A and B are shown apart, each in its own frame.
Chain A
Amino acid sequence: GENVEQHPSTLSVQEGDSAVIKCTYSDSASNYFPWYKQELGKRPQLIIDIRSNVGEKKDQRIAVTLNKTAKHFSLHITETQPEDSAVYFCAATGGSQGNLIFGKGTKLSVKP
């Protein structure tokens, strides 16, 4: 079945720096790759997603890139702010029913 690996597990950056989180997946049939942000004590919320027919997608300070050949996708956050501090999860569709399989998460800390 699908396996999603996410790195790093923790990431600390200075305010204003960029942050990059990387995920790899195993199922070549995966075609949808969302990223969720979970603030402490809150529910996960979708922040950006990309489909397999697109290589890159941007939304203000966040962007996602997809390399289908290498089976990896990345989240890029530029000009980080303290409110970006959270746990970020990547996911990919997989399995016989195409359900989302999540990575184990990256705890991002942005220091003022």
Chain B
Amino acid sequence: NAGVTQTPKFRVLKTGQSMTLLCAQDMNHEYMYWYRQDPGMGLRLIHYSVGEGTTAKGEVPDGYNVSRLKKQNFLLGLESAAPSQTSVYFCASSSLRDEKLFFGSGTQLSVL
């Protein structure tokens, strides 16, 4: 039982490049989330999903897109990376009956 797994762990992009972060969970959780963490800013919600095929915007959605084609996977895409998107990205999941979040190990993204 791996919990929540994120790939990759580290990535360096040039401004304007695109990339996709993958999140996978094996706990059969209905809800999945993408957060970004910046120094002194806490965890801010980018997008989330309440079930397969559904997505919704969080606090800071601009510049990101997401997809949830399978219940266990939640993808975060950057179509044209900007230096302001340099951050640590965390995926999380929770069950329908419980607000407790289970986080992945994070992805350190640097945009040059």
Which residues of A are interface residues toward B (Cβ below 8 A)?
6, 9, 32, 34, 36, 42-46, 49, 89, 93, 97, 99-105
The contact sample of 23 A-B pairs, CB cut-off 8 A, is A9-B40, A32-B99, A34-B99, A34-B101, A43-B90, A43-B103, A43-B105, A44-B43, A44-B90, A44-B103, A46-B100, A46-B101, A93-B99, A97-B48, A97-B50, A99-B33, A99-B58, A100-B45, A102-B43, A102-B44, A103-B42, A104-B42, A105-B42
Q: Which residues in B have their C-beta under 8 angstroms from that of A46?
A: 100-101
Q: Which residues in A have their C-beta under 8 angstroms from that of B48?
A: 97, 99
Q: Interface size on B (CB < 8 Å)?
A: 20
> Which chain B residue lies CB-closest to A98?
B99
> Which chain A residue lies CB-closest to B45?
A99
CB distance from A75 to the nearest CB of B (A): 15
Q: Which residues in B have their C-beta under 8 angstroms from that of A32?
A: 99
**Contacting pair A49 B41 (CB below 8 A):** no
> Which chain B residue lies CB-closest to A31?
B99
**Contacting pair A89 B42 (CB below 8 A):** yes
- With A43-B105, A89-B43, A99-B45 in contact, is A49–B90 under 8 Å at CB? no
Residue among B42, B44, B104 having the largest count of chain A Cβ atoms under 10 Å: B42
User: Hey, what's the 0/1 contact readout for B45-62 against A, CB within 8 Å counting as 1?
Assistant: 100101000001011000
**Contacting pair B56 A97 (CB below 8 A):** yes
| 4 pairs of A and B residues whose beta carbons are closest in the complex | A104-B42, A43-B103, A102-B43, A102-B42
- With A99-B45, A99-B48, A102-B43 in contact, is A43–B99 under 8 Å at CB? no
CA distance A43 to B106 in the complex (A): 7
Residue among B56, B90, B99, B101 having the largest count of chain A Cβ atoms under 10 Å: B99
> Which chain B residue lies CB-closest to A93?
B99
CB distance from B48 to the nearest CB of A (A): 6
Q: Which residues in A have their C-beta under 8 angstroms from that of B103?
A: 43-45
